[in-house]
């Protein structure tokens, strides 16, 4: 069912006081579609609609809501209702929600949870954001190596309702050290009397609890895993990161990179829910900073005032040249930022990539110089044409190399390379382009 249709159906049913019809609509639709429609309502209305569902269905649907919507709705729920919801949610999802609550709400909620759930929430919520620990779940299945397959299958059958996934199980020793892994398929096909340790794979791809979530997502994608085990500093198994959670983290990282590439700080809510004040606050710093960066271009123009006064035709080509340099720089930066993010390029590849970019940028600059030479001849004569042509080659090469090198430099000093894209590269290349262009003009025209 489409979001708009579902939204209208729910609104009509509740307005008419027809709870039975509203409940039937919620039960027929997919939780992801319901969550998308619920986000269109106020938090108070959403609490009312969600109360029509059974508690298990409520918990499943809650996991599909955006983080911002979850936090807003949770604040409108009573302590008892919220505690009951927490008891039904996946371990990693309730830990994430717990971190989004205010400190006062956290202290109010914890006494309403069972001791095991309370300790689990505290432990998972204690890990730094955007790390494997913050992303992992504690709902995973474990086996012992000395168990026969028959006993292992019986244990999985009993635990399946409470685990996020049993398709991949992890073999641990008495100290919870990870010693192997085994898929459910391998267990089902094995002889019931064989031991788990005879079937398990001992070379297990894993991650550390403090690993960045972007690295975790890369590992899961690279090794094509359903889940990735997470170990603590003592190499004990403490959780797993599932494929769907890794995919959510990858989308979050890509969104953050896209925002930074436009010189916008990470938004705390979806674009359709973020406040005007937050948008202002997240954008103003870079815009003000880049204003002062643009003064470099103005200073360059002022420095070559005499050249411009004698050859006014030069002004006609300035936006064309500076814009071309900025475009070339943005292209290079975008390609390099993405290559660094996906691991296609590393710091050791810098010399190779730089050499190739010099050749490509030179070819691009020559092609564009040929295109503008005739225009320069037409507007200002052969001397102006040569100025524009030489400047075009140099500006495009400079822009491309700046766009290429800036992400490398930021990565080297432990800053996010995505910051190098868009406005930052354009501002730097604009100032450089002005100096190059009028520098050529002064030299070639003999001023």
| pLDDT, tens digit (0-9, with 9 covering 90-100), for 384-431 | 889 889 999 999 999 999 988 888 888 887 777 776 666 788 888 888
Residues of the chain falling short of pLDDT 70: 1-4, 7, 11, 13-19, 261-265, 269-270, 272, 419-422, 446-447
Does the structural domain 140-260 have CATH classification 3.10.580.10? yes
CA separation for the pair 135, 251 (Å, rounded): 13
Nearest Cα residue to 49 out of 59, 71, 63, 34:
34
| Count, residues in the chain | 447
d(CA 104, CA 126): 17
The answer to whether the beta carbons of residues 100 and 201 sit under 8 Å apart is no
The pLDDT assigned to 315 comes to 84
CB-CB contact of 169 with 142 (8 Å) = yes
Question: 149 exposed, middle or buried (CB, 10 Å; 0-12, 13-18, 19+)?
Answer: buried
**Whole-number pLDDT of residue 428:** 87
Residue-range domain boundaries for the chain: 3-126, 140-260, 276-444
**Pairing verdict, β 227-231 and 207-208:** parallel
CATH dotted code for 276-444: 1.10.357.20
pLDDT of residue 420: 60
pLDDT reported for residue 253: 77
Same fold, 3-126 and 140-260: no
pTM: 0.70
Q: In this predicted structure, what is the pLDDT of residue 179? A: 94
The secondary structure element, H or E, covering residue 170 is strand 165-172
**What pLDDT shows up at residue 239?**
92
Q: Which residues contact 39 (CB under 8 A, 6 or more apart)?
A: 46, 65, 66, 69, 273
CATH T-level assignment (fold) for domain 3-126: MgtE N-terminal fold (1.25.60)
Here the contacts of 52-61 (C-beta below 8 Å, separation 24 or greater) are 52/19, 52/22, 52/23, 52/26, 53/23, 53/26, 53/27, 55/84, 55/85, 55/88, 56/88, 57/26, 57/27, 57/31, 58/85, 58/88, 59/85, 59/88, 59/89, 60/31, 61/31, 61/34, 61/35
Specify whether the CB–CB gap between 398 and 325 falls below 8 A: yes
């Amino acid at each position: 069912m489409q979001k708009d249709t579902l939204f209208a159906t729910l609104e009509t049913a509740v307005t008419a006081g027809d709870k039975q019809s509203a409940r039937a609509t919620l039960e027929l639709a997919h939780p992801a579609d319901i969550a998308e429609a619920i986000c269109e309502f106020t938090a108070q209305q959403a609490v009312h609609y969600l109360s029509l569902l059974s508690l298990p269905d409520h918990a499943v649907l809650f996991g599909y809501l955006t983080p911002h919507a979850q936090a807003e709705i949770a604040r409108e729920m009573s302590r008892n209702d919220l505690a009951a919801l927490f008891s039904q949610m996946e371990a990693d999802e309730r830990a994430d929600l717990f971190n989004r609550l205010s400190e006062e709400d956290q202290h109010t909620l914890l006494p309403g949870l069972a001791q095991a759930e309370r300790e689990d929430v505290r432990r998972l919520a204690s890990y730094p954001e955007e790390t494997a620990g913050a992303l992992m779940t504690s709902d995973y299945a474990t086996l012992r190596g000395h168990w026969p397959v028959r006993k292992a299958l019986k244990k999985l059958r009993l635990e399946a309702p409470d685990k996020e996934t049993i398709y991949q199980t992890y073999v641990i020793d008495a100290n919870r050290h990870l010693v192997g892994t085994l898929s459910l398929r391998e267990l089902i096909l094995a002889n019931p009397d064989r031991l788990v340790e005879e079937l398990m794979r001992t070379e297990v791809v894993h991650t550390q609890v403090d690993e960045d979530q972007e690295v975790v997502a890369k590992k899961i994608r690279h090794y094509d895993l359903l889940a990735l085990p997470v170990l603590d500093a003592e190499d004990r198994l403490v959780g797993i990161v599932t494929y769907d959670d890794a995919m959510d983290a990858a989308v979050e990282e890509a969104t953050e990179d896209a925002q930074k590439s436009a010189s916008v700080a990470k938004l705390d809510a979806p674009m359709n829910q973020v406040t005007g004040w937050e948008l202002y606050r997240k954008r103003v710093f870079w815009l003000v900073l880049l204003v002062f960066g643009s003064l470099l271009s103005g200073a360059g123009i002022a420095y070559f005032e005499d050249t411009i006064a004698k050859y006014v035709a030069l002004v006609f080509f300035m936006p064309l040249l500076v814009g071309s340099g900025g475009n070339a720089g943005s292209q290079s930066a975008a390609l390099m930022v993405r290559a660094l993010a996906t691991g296609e390029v590393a710091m050791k590849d810098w010399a190779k990539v730089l050499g190739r970019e010099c050749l490509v940028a030179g070819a691009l600059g020559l092609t564009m110089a040929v295109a503008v030479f005739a225009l320069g001849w037409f507007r200002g004569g052969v001397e102006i044409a040569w100025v524009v042509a030489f400047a075009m080659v140099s500006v495009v090469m400079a822009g491309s190399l700046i766009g290429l090198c800036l992400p490398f430099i930021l990565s080297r000093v432990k800053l996010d390379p995505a910051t190098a894209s868009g406005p930052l590269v354009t501002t730097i290349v604009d100032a450089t382009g002005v100096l190059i262009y009028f520098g050529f003009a002064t030299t070639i025209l003999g001023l």
